[in-house]
Amino acid sequence: MAEKLQTISEISCHISGMLKRLWSPAEADALASAIIMEYTGMNRAAQMAFGDRQPEHGARERILVAAARASEGEPLQYITGYTDFCGQRIGVEPGVLIPRPETEEMTLMIIGENKGYKGTVTDLCTGSGGIAIALSLAFPGATVVATDISPAALRVAAGNISATGASVTLAESDIFSDDLSVIPVSGIIVSNPPYVTESEKMAMHANVLEHEPHEALFVPDNDPLVFYRRIAEIAAERLAAGGTLWLEVNESLASETAGLFGSDIYREVRIIKDIRGKQRFIKAEKDA
C-alpha cells in the first residue's frame, strides 16, 4: 500500500491509521500532522488546504520511517532529536528525559518574576538543560549552574548550551552524596526532580514507560519525597538569604512536599497550580 501513497492527504490518512493502534483518533491525527510538518514544513492548515500536493523528493520516505517508529511508541521528540522549550530548540535523545510543558510553565514564571536578575541560579537535576538555558538567556547578567548525575544528560545539555549560545556551567553531581560545595550559594535554586511514584506507572502511556529513562521519572512508593527532602537540606545551606526555591512536584503530594520547607527558614511557601489547575509547583522564599 505504501507504494501507492503519493499526496499529502494519502500519506496523512495512512499514517493516522498506523498511529491509532496506540493513540486516540484525535491524538493520532495530530501526531500524523506533526510528523508531516517536520519533513515538509507544512502546518496542519496547509496540509488540509494543499492535500493534493506531493512531498518533495525523499520527504515521503522520511515521513513513513518516522511514522513507523512512532507507531511502535517511540516519542516524536526522540525521532526528530529535539523539542521546543521556552523558544529554544533543545536536543533530546533516548536516555534523557523529554522536557514537559509544565516545566516550561514553571521556567516562564521564574523569568517573569525576576526581570533583570543578575545573581546566581542553580538548576538541580537539569536533564537536557532546558531550564538552565532558558534562565541564562533571560538573565544575561546572571551566573547559571546546572547539575546532574547522568553523564548522558550532561552531554546532551552541553550540546544544547553550545547550540543556543547560553552561558551555563555544568557540574556532574550526585545530590545525595557529593559535597555541597559543588553547588554555589544561589539567589535562585530550581529543580524538576523525579516525582512519579511506582504505583502511578499504570496510568502512564506506553511511549513514556517503554522509552523514557525511569531514573529521571520514578520514585519508590514508600519514599516518594526522597529528592525533595534532600533538596530541602541543600537549600537550607546553599540558597542565599532572601533567595527563592522553585520546584515542580507531584500534584498528589504537593502539600506534603511544601511541608518540608518550614517557617523557621522560609518566610513564605506557596503551592502554585499549573495551567490545568493541578498543584504542580512550589515557590519557597527564604527568610532574609
Domain boundaries, the chain: 2-72, 82-286
Contact 201, 218 (CB under 8 A): yes
Q: Look over the chain and give the mean of its residue pLDDT values, rounded to a whole number.
A: 94
Contact 205, 261 (CB under 8 A): no
Residues whose CB is less than 8 angstroms from the CB of residue 256 and which lie 6 or more positions away in sequence, other chains included = 225
Q: What is the pLDDT of residue 212?
A: 83
74-120 confidence digits (pLDDT tens): 999 999 999 999 999 999 999 999 999 999 999 999 999 999 999 99
CATH fold of 82-286 reads: Rossmann fold (3.40.50)
How many angstroms separate the CA atoms of 259 and 222, rounded?
17
User: And the C-alpha cell for 15?
Assistant: 499514517
Q: What is the pLDDT of residue 14?
A: 94
- Range 50-70 average pLDDT: 93
- Range 43-63 average pLDDT: 93
% the chain with pLDDT above 70: 99
Q: What is the pLDDT of residue 3?
A: 53
- Check whether 217 has a pLDDT greater than 70: yes
149-204 confidence digits (pLDDT tens): 999 999 999 999 999 999 999 999 999 987 888 899 999 999 999 999 988 887 77
- Check whether 1 has a pLDDT greater than 80: no
